[in-house]
Every structure is written in structure tokens, then in C-alpha cells.
Amino acid sequence: MRNAIAALALCAWLIPAAAFADTTSESLEWLGRMATAGQRLNYTGTFIYQAGRDVETSRITHRVDANGEHERLEVLDGSPREVIRSNNQVQCVLPDQKLVIVDQGSARRAFPARLPTSYAGVAENYRVTLGESGRVAGLEAQQILLEPKDGLRFGHRLWADVATGLLLKSRMVDDQGEVIEQFTFTDVKIGGEIEMDAVKPRFITNDQWKIVSARGDEVRPEDKGWVLEPPLAGYALKSVVRRPLGDGRKEILHIVYTDGLAAISVFIEPSDASSGHDGIGAMATGPINIYKRLVSEHLITVLGEVPLAAVRQIGDGMVQVVQ
């Protein structure tokens, strides 16, 4: 998570209410094209992430072959970092710490493949319409607008390459039209051959490196031991995973709720009176809202790129099931 990122106000980006007509089949087709393109095309390019005064540049290379998807994401600013993905296997490489974190891929992928593969529930929670066409990274792009129907999610402005459907630019905006975060390609090459070496780690690990597994064990929804009462409108349970805390500590339960586009994570871990719990309540870290609450000798932490009202309602609604 990024520190101290304020929302960036772009007055020129205010969209009049009249622009948001009913969701059209054509706009939903564009969303499907973007989701498919981000996962089925070869591409390589440089993109910029912006949130307030925080700016970060990354390079991504994505290859598809008979064995599936392979991807290398390298952060070009600050300390060297790279993320290597092969289908659902993910390695986060931190060379300064000589550390590799191994995990399973989550539904929240890197830009530009961060869109869900299914949009079955998106139209229920967002008005999806087509905006104006323009140019991004030298390519003709179609704009797609997603306006939330309530205050439990943010709006999105997406630009897709007209020729291939690949997502070229993405903005998340609040209810005032102010930009919360933005991703945009500055240059991109779509299609063509990409060698396997281009998606392999640049850093060579050895015995001096520490490899940490963040993988967890999937838990059946009925066995998670907690319920959300009442449910959060428009959000459904996505996954439940139990992860070890390490150092002889107990496990943490990781629950994810999604509306088909936005995702909210709930972390439930054992707590005791001797532990200091700074930050109980609400806070924000860049585009991520966080809410912490103590209940039944457990610390509940809820976070997501959603309005505070959404994380607070989930945090206050988590109830332990008595076995």
C-alpha cells in the first residue's frame, strides 16, 4: 500500500449526470473485450501510476503461449522491485531485502489486466455507458464510463484500444469527480512475438535470499466461522483463505467480498489485551480505505479501494458464529 496519497481534483473531468444513460449492451461488450485482451494478448509497455502527488513508473511484459499466461512487472522508480507471474503462481522479488514472496494470484491483477473476466453483476451496481473516443499512447481509444449506483463503490473511467480492446488508461474517481488513482500507458506494443526470457526474473537468487510463502489454505464458506450481518448491498463472497502468521503465532482468516469490479478484503486474527492496537477505527492509505475493530478477542481489519462507508459497514457487520 502506498503512503500519504491524496485525491487529485480534476475539475475538467466532472461528468454531467445526463451523460449516464442506461447501461447498453455495446458498453458491456467493450468491458468484455478489455478483460479478454488483457489476458490473451502479447504486449509490452511502460505505464505510470498516479495518486495525488505519488507517481510511479513501471514496465510490464505479458506473454501468452500453450502453457498459459506469463508476466513480468518491474517498478522503475525507487528501490528495485519486480513481480513475476506464471498463470496463478506469483513471485514478488525484493532484491534490496534479498526476499522473494510466493503467493497465489488474486483476482486483482496488475494493470492493464486488472479487470474481472466476468461482468455478470457489474450492470447491477454501475451504469455503464460509452464516452468519447480519443488517443492514449498514440493509439485510438474508446472511453467507457462506469458510474456507481450508490455510495458503496467508486466510479471508473476506462480507455480501450479500438483495434485490440486492451486497456490503455484507467481512472478511479469519487462522487465529486475527483481522481483517486490513475494508470496510463505512455508507450505500448501490442501483439508480436515475446521471448520467454523477457518474462523471467532479472535478479538471480541464491542461498542468501529468503523465500517466504504467503500461500494459504482455502476454507469452505460455511466453515469460515464468521458471517456478515446484514450483507453489503451489491457485494458477494468471493473467497476465504486461512494463512499462517508465522513465528509460532496463530492463523489469520482472509475473506474477500466483490461486486464484480471492486474488492474488499477482511482480515481476522486473534488478539489479546496485552497487544497494542494502534489505529483502531478508520484511516486511509492512498486510494485504500481501512477500518479496524476489536471483537470477541479478534482484530478485524477491512480494506479496499472503496468508500469508507463500505469498509466500515463490513467491519461493523462481521459476527462470529458460535459453534
**Whole-angstrom Cα distance, residue 227 to residue 322?**
11
Q: What is the pLDDT of residue 317?
A: 96
User: In three state form, how does the secondary structure of 45-107 look?
Assistant: EEEEEEECCEEEEEEEEEEEECCEEEEEEEECCCCCEEEEEECCEEEEEEHHHCEEEEEECCC
* Residue-range domain boundaries for the chain: 11-199, 216-320
Question: In whole angstroms, what is the distance from residue 31 CA to residue 23 CA?
Answer: 12
B/e letters for 170-208, b = 16+ CB within 10 Å, e = fewer, are bbbbbeebebbbbbbbeebebeeebeeeebeeeeeeeee
| CB-based burial label for 65 (10 Å; 0-12, 13-18, 19+) | exposed
When the candidates are 3.40.50.300, 2.30.42.10, 3.40.470.10, 3.30.200.100, the CATH number that belongs to 216-320 is 3.30.200.100
Task: Using DSSP bridges, classify how beta strands 68-75 and 81-86 pair: parallel, antiparallel or unpaired.
Answer: antiparallel
CATH superfamily, domain at 11-199:
Lipoprotein localisation LolA/LolB/LppX (2.50.20.10)
User: 292, 8 in Cβ contact below 8 A?
Assistant: no
What local confidence, expressed as pLDDT, does residue 19 receive?
Answer: 35
CA distance 82 to 97: 13
Give whole-number Cα distances, 258 to 153, 154, 216, 306, 318, in Å: 10, 13, 19, 11, 16
Residue 118 is predicted with a pLDDT of 65
Can you give the pLDDT at residue 275? Answer: 59
Q: Is 68 left (phi over 0), alpha (psi -120 to 50) or beta?
A: left
Report d(CA 249, CA 199) in Å as an integer. Answer: 36
Residue entry with cell 506469463: 70
What pLDDT does residue 110 have?
81
Q: Closest Cα partner for 51 from 86, 98, 105, 8?
A: 8
Mean pLDDT per 10-residue section of the chain, whose length is 323 residues:
29 30 76 92 97 92 96 94 93 93 72 76 90 96 96 96 98 94 97 96 89 85 91 94 73 92 93 66 92 92 96 96 76
